[in-house]
Structure 1
Amino acid sequence: MFYQFAKTVVKLIFILMFRIKVIGKENIPKKGPVIICSNHISNFDPPLVGITSPRAIKFMAKEELFRKKGLGLLLTNLNAFPVKRGMRDRNALRTGLKLLSEGKTLGLFPEGTRSKDGEVKKGLAGAGFFAMRSEATVIPCAIIGSYKKFSTLKVIYGKPIDFKTLQKEKPGAQEVTDEIMDNIKALLEEYR
Structure 2
Amino acid sequence: MFFRFRAFGRENFPKEGAVIVAPNHASFLDPIIVGVAAPRKMNYLARDTLFKHRPFAKILQWVHVSPIRREAGDMNAFKLALTKLSDGEPVLIFPEGTRSQDGNLQEPKPGIGFLEKTSGAKILPCYVKGSRDAWPRHSRFPRVSPVSVYFGKPLRFENLSANRRERYVQVVEVVMKAIAGLKRDASQSS
Q: What TM-score results when the alignment is normalised by the length of structure 1? A: 0.87
Question: Partner of 1:191 in structure 2?
Answer: 186
- Whether 2:164 is the aligned partner of 1:169: answer no
- Residue 22 of structure 1, CA deviation: 0.7
Question: Partner of 1:141 in structure 2?
Answer: 126
Question: Partner of 1:9 in structure 2?
Answer: none
1:24-173 matches, cutoff 5 A: 24-145=9-130, 146-147=133-134, 149-164=143-158, 167-170=159-162, 171-173=166-168
User: Does the 8 A contact of 2:112 with 2:168 survive in 1?
Assistant: yes
Instruction: Give 2:109's aligned amino acid.
Output: L
Q: Which runs of 5+ in 1 are unaligned?
A: 1-13
User: Does the 8 A contact of 2:127 with 2:182 survive in 1?
Assistant: yes
Instruction: Give 2:161's aligned amino acid.
Output: E
Q: How far apart in 1 are the matches of 2:50 and 2:108?
A: 21
Q: How far apart in 2 are the matches of 1:168 and 1:181?
A: 16
Instruction: Give 2:91's aligned amino acid.
Output: L
- Residue 42 of structure 1, CA deviation: 0.4
User: Does the 8 A contact of 2:160 with 2:170 survive in 1?
Assistant: no
Partner SS, residue 21 of structure 2: strand
- Give aligned-pair identity as a percent: 34
User: Does the 8 A contact of 1:33 with 1:137 survive in 2?
Assistant: yes
1:94-121 CA distances to partner (integer Å, 9 max, x unpaired)? 1111110000110011111111211000
Q: How far apart in 2 are the matches of 1:99 and 1:19?
A: 31
Instruction: Give 1:96's aligned amino acid.
Output: A
Partner SS, residue 60 of structure 1: strand
Q: How far apart in 1 are the matches of 2:129 and 2:106?
A: 15
Q: How far apart in 2 are the matches of 1:67 and 1:106?
A: 22
1:7-52 CA distances to partner (integer Å, 9 max, x unpaired)? xxxxxxx2xx221111000101111001100000100111101111
- Residue 181 of structure 1, CA deviation: 1.1
Aligned residue pairs: how many? Answer: 175
Q: C-alpha root-mean-square deviation of aligned residues, in Å?
A: 1.3
- Whether 2:12 is the aligned partner of 1:19: answer no
- Residue 174 of structure 1, CA deviation: 2.1
Instruction: Give 1:182's aligned amino acid.
Output: K
Q: How far apart in 1 are the matches of 2:9 and 2:150?
A: 6
4+ residue runs of structure 1 moved beyond 4 angstroms? none
Q: Which runs of 5+ in 2 are unaligned?
A: 136-142
- Residue 162 of structure 1, CA deviation: 3.3
- Residue 150 of structure 1, CA deviation: 3.8
